[in-house]
Amino acid sequence: MVVYGVALLSFCMLAGVFLGQLLGYLLGIDANVGGIGIAMLLLIFIANKKSMAIKIDASTKSGINFWNAMYIPIVVAMAAKQNVLAAISGGWMALTAGVLVVVLSFIAVPILHKLSKSKEH
């Protein structure tokens, strides 16, 4: 049933966020450490486990895939609720720092990629 997929997704997210918050607490910081990443790993683990009690049939899948497909619309809504005004009114220093960080990080992507690949060979 479709709701099983949605419920499975909800379970993974809540478990991940809880563990992330707990991890943050144990490290003594007021932040969630990788909760969503943990949730993703949990879903991948469950989805790939053949001997799982929960069988993921086609209709269960469609419950997950609906939210997968809603990803881009949600991101558009996310863009529409950003505090763009505050970003722009941050002045030259904020702009300089923001632009430099993004440009240099873009440049670092292929460099890190190359370094990691050359180490393997």
Q: Map the footprint of another protein across residues 61-120, applying CB under 8 A.
A: 61, 64-65, 67-68, 70-102, 104-110, 112-113, 116
Nearest 10 degrees: Cα torsion 42, 105, 77, 31: 50
CB 35 to another protein: min, Å: 7
Q: How far is the CB of 54 from another protein (least distance, A)?
A: 14
State which amino acid sits at residue 33: V
CA max distance for the chain: 57
- Contacting another protein within 3-62 (CB under 8 A): 9-10, 12-13, 16-17, 20, 23-24, 27, 29-37, 39-41, 43-44, 47-48, 61
| Residue 17 identity | V
Closest distance of CB 59 from another protein, Å: 14
Q: Which residue has the tokens 């619309």?
A: 73
Based on CB atoms, which residue is closest to another protein, 28 or 53? 28
Smallest gap from residue 117 Cβ to another protein (A): 8
92-105 exposure pattern, b = at least 16 Cβ within 10 A, e = fewer: eeeeeeeeeeeeee
